[in-house]
Amino acid sequence: MAEAYDTAVALHCPLGPITFAASLQVDGCIPNAFIQEHSLGIHYNVGAEFTDYLVDPLIFKYADGYVGIPPGSGPGIELNEKVVREAGRIGYSWKNPVWRNKDGSLAEW
């Protein structure tokens, strides 16, 4: 529908490598893709970067502000099953950070 109304699309993907690869695949299929948001290298991924779960983390290598669409079938990535299983064993305990402005008021994303 966005294309029908001449509106750009900016997919947002703060999740893992599968959803990011799928988002890139969608970007490559629609003429109105404008930008791809992601969480690669952001502060809240410390110790759990989504490329940690890939056999080849360089599949999402950026050059001049661009990332390529992963080649190959499906989403074009290969997960490191051992790392994924270990992460599942440990579990996930991330909590949304609470930020405050200098005056004490609540700041949000």
9-13 and 33-38 strand pairing: parallel
- In angstroms, rounded to a whole number, what is the distance separating the alpha carbons of residues 98 and 108? 7
Look at residues 79, 56, 80 and name the one whose alpha carbon lies nearest to residue 68: 56
- In angstroms, rounded to a whole number, what is the distance separating the alpha carbons of residues 98 and 104? 11
| The model's pTM | 0.78
Using the predicted structure, report yes or no on whether residue 11 has a pLDDT greater than 70.
yes
Beta bridge partners of 106: 100
pLDDT for res 44: 66
18-42 average pLDDT score: 89
pLDDT digits (tens, 9 = 90+) for 40-90: 777 666 667 888 899 999 999 889 988 899 988 889 999 999 999 998 898
- Rg (Cα) of the chain, in Å, rounded? 17
